[in-house]
Amino acid sequence: MLPCPLQIWTEFESNGIKNIRGRDIYTLRPAVESEEDLRLMFNILRAILLDERRPNSLHLNHALRSLFTICHQNGWLDLAKEVWRDEAVAAFFAKNPSKGRMLYYAAHLYDSGEYAEVAAEPAFDDVPIMFTAKMAALYRIGTAEAFEKATRLQRRRAAVLDKCVISVVGCLYP
């Protein structure tokens, strides 16, 4: 095991991810002091995600969530967007969905005034909790087009909820 972040970073620069485990990446979080440190953490995480011989682990999920949290806390929106749009990360998200990661990213976008991006993000469409984030973003945009989109979104959600109620009632009273 690589006991400290400096050893992990040195190992990565010397030998790649050969001797780095998924849980090692999570230990880097306390050592992140700059955007450059976080970018290095992301590079290690990305290399692990791209290694097909490694199984996905809970540590990778926590490391990604930490990455978005650190970006939000420090206002590093460009890095958060880069991570969100990365192909290896997107593939991991597809196999390991997490509302928490979405909320951290959406909150960062929203707090940074990126309302159009929150409203347009397709990954948020099928997650019920993200409905509120999209509606808030559309409200903040405040245009007639945003109002129309919010209305369509609300109608679509109401239709889904109606189907759920009908399904439940149908099960209870066949």
Residue 146 in contact with residue 119, Cβ under 8 Å?
yes
Question: Is 103 part of a structural domain of the chain?
Answer: no
Separation between Cα atoms, residue 10 and residue 12, nearest integer Å: 5
Residue 89 shares a structural domain with residue 130 = no
- pTM of this prediction? 0.79
Which of 38, 64, 96 corresponds to the end of one domain? 96
Separation between Cα atoms, residue 43 and residue 41, nearest integer Å: 5
**84-112 residue pLDDT tens:** 999 999 888 888 878 888 888 999 999 99
The fraction of the chain above a pLDDT of 70, given in percent, is: 88
Domain around 128: 120-174
Identify residue 68 by its one-letter amino acid code.
Answer: F
Instruction: Using CB atoms within 10 Å of the CB of residue 3, give its burial: 0 to 12 exposed, 13 to 18 middle, 19+ buried.
Output: exposed
Question: Is 20 part of a structural domain of the chain?
Answer: yes
